[in-house]
Amino acid sequence: MESTKKSIPKSILIFGAAGHIGQPLAEFLTREAPDIQLSLVARNPEKQKLLQNRVPNAHVLAADYEDPSSLAAAVKGIEGVFVISSSGMSETTAMTNLSNVLKQDGSAVHIIRLLGIFPEFNPRRVPASLGPGSLPYEHPIAKRILDESDLPVTYINSGATFIDNLWLQIQPVLLHKKFIWPEHRVPFLDPRDVAEVAGRLFLSDNAKHVVTGILSDELGESLAFDGSYEGFMEFWGPRMGKKAERIWNFFKFEQANEEQWALNNFVERILGRKPTTVRGWVVEHKDALVKGDRTVSWA
């Protein structure tokens, strides 16, 4: 095969398939490439049932990054793998186990890993308050392990905040007409657009996509907000407990290093259209937002 060409996988395994990226990826692939056999990973039995209803032709299964035997069964004969990790997970254990079983099986022709790494960032600058389990600590470890595996990996490195966090952030807006969140100046991106980018990369035979560019979109219109520590902890502390302090620390870390990210038009070039904007997402979900009865999985 030419060096500029790659194989299009005939089967694809999606980790986090019930999540806000994994599920739309499964739906995109079902719609655009129905002949590809999908295997969808979800550990929660209720989410497994939901996935089976949403994607009836897919194989739904449970697999755990910390359980090599379940991983080996999940990747057996699979050619494409979408990899995403959950907050607080040890990437050392997860990616070591995954890379080992993928190499042992030998079927994979294209692996896509979602990351959020500050480009050329000195890891010594990660503060102690964002230690093991945090994104800036764990994601560089994941990339190092996958790089050393020599597996055919494409990285989608996203320097964006996901627009659907508004399902959570709308709460103080509805209660106090005030947006209460730490200030951080990074672009907004609809996770469904990330899913479509991943899907189009799987379905492309072009091996030369420059995917290490930062996925981003122009910032939408700013809402008035309370960016103070006191305001954040007063509202979110009772709702999140100890997690509130960690979230504050992460976003202030992100704000302090925002110059590491650069805007580009990679998502637009891959999708062939403008990515979803914050305003467009809010307009799409306005009726549900004002009800304030939805949230996000990580909170």
Lookup: tokens for 192: 């469904």
Query: pLDDT by residue (tens digit) across 212-231?
Result: 222 222 223 344 457 788 88
Query: pLDDT by residue (tens digit) across 91-118?
Result: 999 999 999 999 999 999 999 999 887 7
Q: What's the mean pLDDT in 250-271? A: 74
11-291 is classed CATH 3.30.230.80: no
Q: Where are the domains of the chain?
A: 11-291
Query: pLDDT by residue (tens digit) across 157-195?
Result: 887 788 898 999 889 988 988 888 888 777 888 999 999
- CA dihedral angle for residue 119, residue 123, residue 124, residue 126, rounded to 10 degrees: 90
Q: Distance (Å, rounded) from C-alpha 112 to C-alpha 101?
A: 16
Q: What's the mean pLDDT in 57-83? A: 96
Residue closest to 186 by CA, chosen among 114, 278, 272 = 278
Q: Distance between terminal CA atoms of the chain? A: 45
Please provide the DSSP assignment of 140-165 as one string.
HHHHHHHHHHT--EEEEEB-SEEGGG
Q: What's the mean pLDDT in 70-87? A: 95
